[in-house]
Amino acid sequence: MHTSSERPTTNAHLLGWVEEMAKLCKPDRVYWCDGSEAEKKRLTEEAVAAKVLIPLDQKKWPGCYYHHSNPNDVARVEHLTFICTPTKEDAGPTNNWMEPKEAYRKLGALYDGAMKGRTMYVVPYVMGPATSPFSKVGIEITDSVYVALNMGIMARMGKVALDRLGQSNEFNRGLHSVADCNPERRFICHFPQDNTIWSIGSGYGGNALLGKKCLALRIASYLAKNEGWLAEHMLILEAESPTGEKQYVAAAFPSACGKTNFAMMIPPAVFKGWKIRTVGDDISWMRVGEDGRLWAVNPENGYFGVAPGTNRKTNPNAMDSVRKDTLFTNVARTADGDIWWEGWDTEAPPELTDWKGQHWKKGSPDKAAHPNSRFTAPAKNNPAISPSVDDPKGVPISAIIFGGRRSTTVPLVLEAFNWTHGVYLGATMGSETTAAATGQVGVVRRDPMAMLPFCGYDAGSYFQHWLDMQTRIPHPPKVYMVNWFRKSAEGKFLWPGYGDNMRVLKWMLDRAAGRVGAQETLLGNTPKAGDLDLTGLDAPKENVAAATKIDLGEWEQELESQAEWFDKLGKTLPKPIALQREMLLERVRSARKVK
């Protein structure tokens, strides 16, 4: 082990900060991670010895291990996540705010001595391809070997980051301690002006892997506004046609809307010769290239995916991605070192150890795997990974897609008239609440650009930044709204989804390349009859017609209900976005009178 005296860098800024944090947290040892295979093996053995990880059957699951988290610590905690900006207005009405001095004082007291008896791991990492001008360096200090091993999968970790950093002071300062894992003393604080993240009291991925949502979205969205680019909660997908033409799209879906499935989609058999490859499944950093197009990189190096519901039918590429060198958190496991979760390809075995470590019997009303149980898998395991995933320039984006989960109103696909209309579609997108989430079912929870929990500053200013980007992008991508979840009056899904979403994607790609026309409606452009390739589709024609229908009565209600969301955003809501709503509402009302 490196102790504090064996330091792999001479960067005075970094050394000074690590020393200061060690004085505060008082660990027994300080260990600098180098990201090597030998280190991964050693840290894994330590984690197994400390019962932090449980080995799975290494023949079935080579290099795979299991982790039980504390039962009180199984998800992101939005109510304990704070944006610490000089004023409350800077954080905006959709974020929790804490005054920076107060946050440093409050959390400083909790960190005092929090690492006594523990090892402090110094985890240097790069978000983005190692040599890309898009990339950012972060240093995460953590007292969790689980976090250090996860960061090794999710980011480019170790020596590569220190080499990139050199003697610079430009790095994200991330301090993380599980401390006593008490929800009463759990805070995830972001200091955008200081490029700093302090997280305490949680070992769970989204709260503890600071490169992911904390740096790559909350801090990066703030940096992106100041530096003139976009940090977005979007997958990046490569579509290669039978003639070898490659196009790329970025798509934002709130959770439970099929994002990873779309990023790893397998086209239907009738789309012979088409290949879909994954550049990224969760985060996209987009900048304007020299050619005036928007270019995107995926800052991550792994997948932190939700396990339940992932199976051979819904996502064969994800199942292949987790076959080796994967960490599983809070799924269920068998006595012989196998795993299982709800939505697996086979029925549950008669007995399991559930996510809490308790004995579980088939037929039990309790879930064996936690609904938010996870896998952390290296991106290179994905058989459909794009060869461009490490390209330092990124990939050129032809289309940006927004999609929520709506049982009515929003059609299968809608193309924005222009960039401003596209930003408006993203700003108003949302999903209906399910019975699990709230007492009221079917209420639309707005989740602008799928960034509601992840925008590191005021939402209205964020929309303004999107609008401002138009003047920076000479050749902007087309913008679309999709909805795979429209239902019939009987409550059945009208569109089969999964691989069949390729049919909609192809129309969007053809539109972006100027190969196909569209039907202009009051609310956006839709496919003309016959333009969606429905060959071999296992769904009645009338279902497709219902899925693509625009009902003006429903849209009048939708546009009226958006007023409440806009009121919540307050005075920073950009005028052009407010005017889009008013203009569309006028159009719809006039058209309904004519009828």
Please state which of the ranges 160-174, 247-261, 564-578 shows the lowest mean pLDDT.
247-261
Contact 480, 366 (CB under 8 A): no
Ligand-binding site membership of 206 (annotated)? yes
Ligand-binding site membership of 7 (annotated)? no
Q: How do residues 309-364 score in pLDDT, each as one tens digit?
A: 999 999 999 999 999 999 999 999 999 999 999 999 999 999 999 999 999 999 99
Q: How do residues 100-128 score in pLDDT, each as one tens digit?
A: 999 999 999 999 999 999 999 999 999 99
Q: Residue 496: pLDDT band by 50, 70, 90 thresholds?
A: very high
Indicate the burial class of 399 (C-beta count within 10 angstroms; 0-12, 13-18, 19 or more).
Answer: buried
Ligand-binding site membership of 204 (annotated)? yes
442: alpha, beta or left, given left = phi > 0 and alpha = psi -120 to 50?
left
Which helix (DSSP H) or strand (DSSP E) does residue 446 occupy?
Answer: strand 444-446
Which helix (DSSP H) or strand (DSSP E) does residue 276 occupy?
Answer: strand 275-280
Ligand-binding site membership of 233 (annotated)? yes
Ligand-binding site membership of 213 (annotated)? yes
> According to the 3-state scheme, what is the secondary structure of 356-390?
CCCEEECCCCCCCCCCCCEEEEEHHHCCCECHHHH
Q: How do residues 64-87 score in pLDDT, each as one tens digit?
A: 999 999 999 999 999 999 999 999
Angle between helix axes 575-594 and 552-569 (nearest 10 degrees) is 160
Mean per-residue pLDDT for 353-380?
A: 97
Residue 3 pLDDT > 80: no
Calculate the dihedral angle through the C-alpha atoms of 570, 576, 581, 584, rounding to the nearest 10 degrees. Answer: 170
Owner of token pair 């996870």: 374
Indicate the burial class of 398 (C-beta count within 10 angstroms; 0-12, 13-18, 19 or more).
Answer: buried
Single-letter amino acid code for the residue at 153: I
| CA separation for the pair 325, 573 (Å, rounded) | 46
Give the C-alpha distances (Å, rounded to integers) separating 581 from 261, 418, 428, 526. 32, 14, 9, 19
List Cβ<8 Å contacts ≥24 apart for 50-57. Answer: 50/145, 52/145, 52/146, 53/146, 53/149, 53/327, 54/333, 55/337, 56/328, 56/333, 56/337, 56/338, 56/339, 57/336, 57/337, 57/338
Q: Residue 442: pLDDT band by 50, 70, 90 thresholds?
A: confident
Return the pLDDT at 358. 98
| % of the chain at pLDDT higher than 90 | 96
Return the pLDDT at 440. 63
Ligand-binding site membership of 374 (annotated)? yes
Owner of token pair 């209205």: 460
Return the pLDDT at 438. 43
Return the pLDDT at 273. 97
Determine the distance from the C-alpha atom of residue 2 to the mean position of all C-alpha atoms in its chain, rounded to a whole number: 34
What's the residue count for the chain? Answer: 595
Return the pLDDT at 1. 42
Residues known to be catalytic: 257
Contact 415, 268 (CB under 8 A): no
Ligand-binding site membership of 166 (annotated)? no
Residues 6+ apart with CB under 8 A from 89: 458, 572
Return the pLDDT at 595. 73
Ligand-binding site membership of 298 (annotated)? no
Q: How do residues 558-567 score in pLDDT, each as one tens digit?
A: 999 999 999 9
Ligand-binding site membership of 261 (annotated)? yes
Contact 353, 332 (CB under 8 A): yes
Residue 256 pLDDT > 90: no
Please state which of the ranges 252-261, 274-283, 307-316, 547-556 shows the lowest mean pLDDT.
252-261
Return the pLDDT at 4. 47
Return the pLDDT at 443. 85
Sign of the alpha-carbon torsion through 299, 302, 306, 311: positive
Look at residues 545, 543, 568, 542 and name the one whose alpha carbon lies nearest to residue 444.
Answer: 568
Show the beta-strand stretches assigned E in 74-186.
81-83, 96-97, 119-127, 136-142, 156-157, 172-177
Residue 228 pLDDT > 60: yes
Q: Residue 441: pLDDT band by 50, 70, 90 thresholds?
A: low
Q: Which domains does the chain have, with CATH numbers?
A: 12-50+79-228 (3.40.449.10), 232-299+387-588 (3.90.228.20), 302-381 (2.170.8.10)
Angle at 130 between CA 127 and CA 132, to 5 degrees: 85
Return the pLDDT at 31. 97
Could you tell me the two tokens for 392? 């330092």
